[in-house]
Structure 1
Amino acid sequence: MDNSKRKIAEAKQRLAELGDVQSRTQFGGYCLAVEKTVFAVVAEGELYLRACEQAQPYIVERKMEPLSLTKRGVPVELNYYRVDGALWSDNEQLLALSQLCLQGAKKQQEERQNNRRLKDLPNMGIRMEMLLRQVGIQTIEMLIQKGAKRSWLLLRSCNKNLGLNVLYALQGAIIGRHQAALPQAMKEELRVWFEYNEQQERKKKREQN
C-alpha cells in the first residue's frame, strides 16, 4: 500500500494540469478522478489508465497490459492499462494520454447520464418504471416536471394500495437519494400532504355513500 500511496502522490503532481486529481479506494486499490470522473487506477504501486476510443491505438501499439483482478476465483481483465516505465518517464506523453483518457471517461459518463431510464433512479426499478409508464410518465424529465405529488396521484388513480412509502420513493428518485435518507423536514411535509389527501379521499367516499 505504501508503494501505491507514493505512486498516487507522484501521479497527482505529474498530472496536475488535468485539474484537481482526487483519489479514493476502488478495485482493491485506488482510483484517480477529476471532478468525480475516474480516469485511472493505482494498484500494487502501478498506475493504470482507463482506455477510451482515442487512446486505444496507443494502447495496442505499446502493448499495454490490462489490469486483472480475481473475482470468485476467475481472473477478470478491466478496461485499465498499465503505464510502463518508458511512458512514466515521458512527462509530455503521459500527460497527453491521461488527458485523452479523462476526456473519454467524461464522454462515457455523459452518454450514460443521457441514456438513463426511470429504473436507474434511486428507489425505482423495473416494476415502478412500468407503473409510471402506464400513467404516461415515460422519462426522468417527465417525472421531475410533474413532481412527486402529482406523480403519486397519477399512480394512485390506478392502484389504490399505494401508500406513503411510494411517495417518499418518488421524491427520493427526483432528488437522487434513497428514501430513507430524505431530510426529515421533507418527509414530514410529504407525510402531512399524504394524510390530508387520505382524509379528503375518505370524505369523498362518505359523501358518495
Structure 2
Amino acid sequence: MKKRSYARIHQSKECLSSLGEINYRSLFGGYSLTIDNVVFAMVSEGELYLRACEQSEVYFVKKAAESLVYNKRGRAIALNYYHVDEGLWCDREKLLQLSTDALFSARREKSRQKTQQRLKDLPNLTHSLEMMLWEAGIADVRALHAYGAKRSWIKLRNVNKALGVRVLLALEGAICGIHEAALPAATRRELVEWGHLYQRRHTR
C-alpha cells in the first residue's frame, strides 16, 4: 500500500507542479500534501483526496465523491477531503483548477487561524482537552462560548464518559477567562450540583 501511495504522491507532484513545490508528510494514517506548509490534499491507500472548499463543494457533491475516512479508536471519522477519481485524473485542467481552489482556501483559513486564539490557550484547557473538544465538534473559542460550559461538557462526555465535574468547572473558567479555582463560590456550587445530578441521571 505504501508503494501505491508513493506512486500517487509522485503523480500528484508531476500533475500539480505549477502550484508550487509540493512536500508530503505522514498524517492520519496517510500522507498530507503541502505547499509552503499549507495542507491542501491527502494521499491515503494510494488515492488522492483534495481538501473541500466552497468553490469545489458543488462539483464533488454532484459527482457523489467519497470523503476521506479516518479510523480513530474504532470510530470512523469523515474528514473534509474529497476523492479524486480516474475521470478527474484524465481531466488535468479540471484537476488543476480544483487543486488551486483547495490550496487558496487552505491558505486563507490558515491566515485567519493565525489571528484567532486556540482553545488550549484559554485558562484550564490542555492540549489533550483541546483534542477532545475538537472530537466533540467544538473546534474553536467561538464555538465553546456559543455552547457554554454545560452543553460543551455534555458533548465531551459523549466522547469520554469518565470526565467529571472538574472538567465542567475548567470549561466555565476558560469561558470566563479565569482559572477554575477563581470561579465565584456560588457559580462553583451551582455547577457542581448540576454536574453531579446529570451524572446520576445518566449512569443508571
How high is the TM-score relative to the length of structure 1? 0.56
Aligned-partner residue type, residue 123 of structure 2: I
Find the partner of 2:123 among 126, 147, 157.
Answer: 126
SS in 2 for 1:64: coil
Deviation at 1:116, TM superposition (A): 2.3
Equivalent position of 2:129 in the other structure: none
How high is the TM-score relative to the length of structure 2? 0.58
SS in 2 for 1:55: helix
Deviation at 1:74, TM superposition (A): 1.4
Equivalent position of 2:4 in the other structure: 3
- Residues 21-170 of structure 1: matches in 2 within 5 Å? 21-116=22-117, 120=121, 125-127=122-124
Identity %: 44
Cα distance in 2 for partners of 1:113, 1:38 equals 15
Aligned-partner residue type, residue 21 of structure 2: D
Structural RMSD (CA): 1.7
Aligned structure 1 segments of 4 or more residues deviating by more than 2 angstroms: 116-120
Cα distance in 2 for partners of 1:63, 1:112 equals 30
Aligned-partner residue type, residue 31 of structure 1: S
Count of matched residue positions in the alignment of Structure 1 and Structure 2: 124
Matched, 1:15 2:16: yes
SS in 2 for 1:48: strand
Cα distance in 2 for partners of 1:117, 1:44 equals 32
Cα distance in 2 for partners of 1:117, 1:14 equals 35
Aligned-partner residue type, residue 73 of structure 2: R
Aligned-partner residue type, residue 61 of structure 1: K
Cα distance in 1 for partners of 2:119, 2:4 equals 42
Cα distance in 1 for partners of 2:51, 2:17 equals 17
Cα distance in 1 for partners of 2:41, 2:98 equals 11
Deviation at 1:101, TM superposition (A): 0.3
SS in 2 for 1:67: strand
Cα distance in 2 for partners of 1:79, 1:118 equals 21
Aligned-partner residue type, residue 16 of structure 2: L
Which is greater in Rg?
1
